[in-house]
Amino acid sequence: MFFRRRTGGRSVSGKTGAVFSVIGDGDEEGLIGVERGAPDLEKLALGVSRVAAAGGPAAAPEAARSGANGGKPLLEIENLRMHFPVKGGVFLRPVAACKAVDGISLTIGAGETLGLVGESGCGKSTLGKCIVRLLSPTSGKVVFDERDITTMPRKRLLPLRRDLQMVFQDPAESLNSRHTVGDILGEPFIIHRMGTRAERQRRVDELLEKVGLDPGVKVRFPFEFSGGQRQRIGIARAIALNPKLIVCDEPVSALDVSVQSQVLNLMMELQRELGLSYLFIAHDLAVVKHVSDRVAIMYLGKIVEMADADTIYRSPLHAYTKALISAIPVPDPTIRRDRHLLEGDVPSPIDPPEGCAFGHRMGHPRWKESVGMDLALREVAPGHWVQACPCCTEGLASPE
Asked if residue 166 and residue 142 are part of one domain, the reply reads yes
Domain co-membership, 286 together with 359: no
pLDDT of residue 395: 63
Longest dimension (CA), the chain: 79
Is the same domain home to 231 and 86? yes
Q: Indicate if 114 and 236 belong to the same structural domain.
A: yes
Name the helix (H) or strand (E) containing 360. Answer: helix 357-362
320 and 300 part of one domain: no
Domain membership flag for residue 4: no
Q: Answer whether 0.85 is exceeded by the pTM.
A: no
* 398, part of any domain: no
Q: What is the pLDDT of residue 253?
A: 82
> In the chain, what is the straight-line distance between the N-terminal and C-terminal CA atoms, in Å?
54
Is residue 122 a part of any domain in this protein?
Answer: yes
Task: Based on the fold, state whether residues 187 and 61 are members of the same structural domain.
Answer: yes
Q: What is the rounded CA–CA span in Å between residue 261 and residue 258?
A: 6
Nearest-angstrom CA–CA distance, 246 and 252: 15
Give me the number of domains the chain comprises. Answer: 2
Domain-terminating residue out of 304, 325, 356: 304
Give the E-state strand segments of the chain in sequence order: 2-7, 10-15, 75-88, 93-108, 113-117, 139-144, 147-148, 164-167, 245-249, 277-282, 294-299, 302-308, 377-381, 384-387
End position of a domain, from candidates 277, 304, 331: 304
Question: Does residue 68 lie within any of the structural domains?
Answer: yes
Q: Residues in the chain with pLDDT < 70?
A: 1-71, 332, 337, 339-340, 395-400
Domain boundary among 246, 275, 304: 304
* Same domain, yes or no: 89 and 200: yes
User: What is the chain's percent helix, strand, coil content, to nearest 5?
Assistant: 35, 25, 40
Q: How many CB atoms lie within 10 A of CB 258?
A: 8
For residue 21, being part of any structural domain is answered with no
Flag whether 20 is in a domain.
no
Instruction: Mark whether 230 and 322 lie in a shared domain.
Output: no
Residue 298 sits in the same domain as residue 323: no
**How many C-beta atoms surround the C-beta of residue 99 within 10 A?**
21
Q: Which phi and psi (to 5°) does residue 97 adopt?
A: -140, 135
200 lies in the same domain as 299: yes
Would you say residue 47 lies in a domain? no
We report the CATH number of the domain holding residue 252 as 3.40.50.300
Do residues 261 and 331 both lie within one domain?
Answer: no
248 has which bridge partners? 167, 280
Domain span holding position 378: 316-387
Please indicate, yes or no, whether residues 65 and 156 belong to a single structural domain of this protein: yes
Could you report the per-residue pLDDT of 320-361, keeping only the tens digit for each? 998 888 887 777 677 776 766 777 777 889 988 888 888 888
Question: What does the alpha-carbon distance between residue 346 and residue 283 come to, in Å, rounded to a whole number?
Answer: 15
| Digit-coded pLDDT (tens) for 51-77 | 444 444 344 444 433 443 456 899 999
At 161, the amino acid letter reads R
Tell me if 62 is assigned to some domain: yes
Identify the bridge partners of residue 307 per DSSP, sorted by sequence position.
Answer: 295
